[in-house]
Amino acid sequence: MPRVNKIRTNDPQGLRGRVLDAAASAFQAGGYAATSIHDIVRRAGVTGGALHHHFPSKKHLALAVIAERVAGEIEQTWIRQVRQAPTAAEGVLQVFEDVAHALEAQGAVTGCPLNNLAVELSLADPDLRTALAGQYALWREAIAERLADEQADFAPDPPAFANVIVAMFSGAMAIAKAEQRPAALRDCADVLRRLMRA
């Protein structure tokens, strides 16, 4: 009888991705401090050794979540939308509407992933604070660049107006999380719509 050689399937990138997805989900649902490495191991379906091979500490894991998962959400939800919309104003308003609609459809509001981590971690660790601030900067810069390109009358100072938009969205998401309804997002969108028409 011929011997059958078993091919070992090893997917380190897939394993790493599962760990990042599990950590991002756990941090979003319960917060960084309340999430243990054991929780992430269980969610990801990996061994503790496999997790530590890719992420030597919980902090390393959090930095990777910020750089790869949170940044990806900002890119998909905000940056791409603002860059591809017919105008900056239309892109911004569409994001507010899309997010409000998605929150209604899912029936629960867990908040903005970046804002949640910023509120919890910005005073806890300088490296995490720097990583979080960097994501806010990329988000603001994308909006400011589009406003500057259009030379929008309502935004004579594009970086400042971009900061207002990001602050309104972040604050509205925090209120939506507290109230478990997206009304604050729609209120902010209505105010922005009037400002951007002025």
pLDDT in tens, 58-77: 999 999 999 999 999 999 99
Amino acid letter for position 179: E
The predicted structure's pLDDT at residue 72: 96
Q: Residue 47 has what DSSP assignment?
A: -
CATH of 59-197, one of 3.40.190.10, 1.20.200.10, 1.20.120.420, 1.10.357.10: 1.10.357.10
Q: Residue 8: pLDDT band by 50, 70, 90 thresholds? A: very low
- Quick check: 102 pLDDT over 80? yes
Amino acid at 188: C
pLDDT bin (cut points 50, 70, 90) of residue 12 is: confident
- Same fold for the pair 9-56 and 59-197: no
Cα atoms in the 13 Å half-sphere on the side-chain side of 135: 28
Please, are residues 59 and 67 in contact by the beta-carbon 8 Å criterion? no
Could you tell me the residue ranges of all domains in the chain? Answer: 9-56, 59-197
Q: How much of the chain exceeds pLDDT 70, in percent?
A: 94
This prediction's pTM: 0.89
Q: How far is the C-alpha of 100 from the C-alpha of 181, rounded, in Å?
A: 8
| Of residues 161, 132, 121, 133, the one with CA closest to residue 145 | 161
CA diameter of the chain: 82
Residue at 104: amino acid letter = E
Task: Please name the CATH architecture into which domain 9-56 falls.
Answer: Orthogonal Bundle (1.10)
